[in-house]
Amino acid sequence: MISTYCLNPCFDQTVEVDSFRLGAANRITRSRMDPGGKGVNVARVLSMLGVETCCVLVLPEKGADEYLENLQLEGMELKSIRTPGSVRRNTKIRSMDTGLVTELNEAGVPLTTWAAGEVREEAKKRKDTSAVHVLSGSLPPFANPAYYYNLIQDLSPAPVFLDTSGRALMEGIKARPMFVKPNLAELQTAVGRELKGLKEVKAAAEDLVRSGISYVCVSMGPEGAVLVTEAGAYHAPAVELEKGNGSTVGAGDALVAGMIYGYLKGEGPEESLRCGVAAASASCMTEGTQMARREDYESVYPRVEIRKI
């Protein structure tokens, strides 16, 4: 069993326009709505890969039934902690002429003291029965920036994968989770300097490994991903995909899920990175914020290259 935690779930509305223009009327040519939130997305991909997964989520009451109904066929177990308010909605605007996606994300409802405590109690119950715990996504408004730090402490010494940003990341890494997945901008913030090229990214990630974090995976968009561990550093270039209606939204969540899948196979960091990049690439082949499909994952997996750096 894998447990993921999602404190700020959302509905993701993805709309397409022929050519997005600021300050002008933009006609929508296609639209879809998907349940989202990083912890939920990770659980969806793990379930697709055949891993038994439960997502613990703080779910606002208004929109909760619709949200859960849309996840019924995804295969994961859901443990919802209800809170007042409405499920937030995020809008992704894809301009078809450039392929660029503009995101308009609501902040979500504040995390109540009661809900914050319930998540920590649920995590403690799952501490010894889950092979991995995944803390993923932004914290809701007014949440303690050290919330993930405290949750990692609650779960110690269980393996924890952390994927967040801003102050939540800066505080969380102090608790020394087993795995962190910053993107390039987040890693630059964490180490306090600009990073140019793979060697500088590797060196910065090595700083975090020396601090006690076993796996540091840096997602770099079109430059692929870098994984640094005590055993070595590896680079996976981005897999070239056919252009279509796919979206990169959620690729980072799929990367985390694939890394966990590889880790569970017990075949070392190179296999973890290969599985992660395959899952991330497969997620880029689906429309909106749908997650990776098994057939796409299996078709991409043999094409992932791993290079030691």
- Token pair 């796996």 in the structure block, residue: 215
List residues bridging with 125 in a β-sheet: none
The catalytic position among 34, 163, 253, 296 is 253
- Token pair of 207, please? 């700083």
Amino acid symbol at 160 = V
Q: Is 12 a catalytic residue?
A: no
Nearby residues of 76 by Cβ (< 8 Å), 6 or more positions away: 43, 44, 46, 47, 53, 54, 55
Q: Using only the alpha carbons of the chain, give its radius of gyration.
A: 18
What residues act catalytically? Answer: 253
